[in-house]
Amino acid sequence: MADQASAAAGWYRQEGAAWLLTIYLQPGARKTEVAGLHDGALKLRLAAPPVEGKANAALIAWLADWFGVPKNRVQIRNGTLSRHKLIEVHGSQKSPADLLDA
């Protein structure tokens, strides 16, 4: 059981006051929801099309709402044009581990 927990935690880490999240994004879904883990990342289905930055904007808004921080506290550090993204969230007391229960 402990091995599963440590493997599951590999998709996020804390860096100073920020959380770094490895996200695998599936845009164009019926609804926005967490879909579990995928290849070492948290898989998110997103109800926004992957055109003109709409999926990235929706991802930032959804994460900001979930973490309870302003949108300017959530940044895409890497992967703006990819399904694989590295997200940085500043100033939240919520643990990313709880996203798996969302």
pLDDT of residue 63: 98
Domains and their CATH numbers in the chain = 2-94 (3.30.1200.10)
Paired tokens of 71: 């949108």
Can you spell out the DSSP letters for 6-51?
A: HHHGGGEEEETTEEEEEEEEEET-SS-EEEEEETTEEEEEESS-SS
pLDDT of residue 6: 44
Q: One digit per residue, pLDDT tens: the chain, 102 residues?
A: 333 444 456 999 999 999 999 999 999 999 999 999 999 999 999 999 999 999 999 999 999 999 999 999 999 999 999 999 999 999 999 999 999 886
What residues contact residue 56 under an 8 Å CB cut-off, 6+ apart?
Answer: 76, 80
Paired tokens of 93: 């007391």
Determine how β-strand 84-90 pairs with β-strand 18-27: antiparallel
pLDDT of residue 78: 97
Q: What is the pTM of this model?
A: 0.88
What residues contact residue 101 under an 8 Å CB cut-off, 6+ apart?
Answer: none
